[in-house]
Amino acid sequence: MPLAEDRKPLFVGDYVIDGAAPDETPLRVVIDKKSQLKIEKPDVISQRLIHVAADEFCPAGVPSVRLRFEMGEPGPARSLTLIEGEPILVAKRIGG
């Protein structure tokens, strides 16, 4: 399911995991050189995101995992929830 180019910037930003230590590096959603959304965390993950429904993505190659974004009205995403059968973590947007 293709994502419209003008919607991609709505997901871009830094997301702090609920309960994370104050000095923990946030998750970062970026648009890469090929105009694809990626989720990154230095030394942990750098994974392309595949749009699967409305404001929901799965990491490339991991269809059982979902990243569901809660969107602002109107505006960019406010948070993301990582789901693998059930919600595993929530991260709130801090910038982007």
Q: Is the peptide bond before 63 cis (omega within 30 degrees of 0)?
A: no
Contact 69, 56 (CB under 8 A): yes
Q: In order of start, what are the domains of the chain with their CATH numbers? A: 5-95 (2.40.128)
Start-to-end Cα distance in the chain: 24
Whole-number Cα distances in Å, 66 to 33, 57, 79: 23, 6, 13
> pLDDT tens for residues 65-86?
999 999 988 889 999 999 999 9
pTM (global) more than 0.75:
yes
Burial of residue 65 (number of CB atoms within 10 Å: 0-12, 13-18, 19+): middle
Q: For residue range 17-27, what is the model confidence (pLDDT) as tens digits?
A: 999 998 999 99
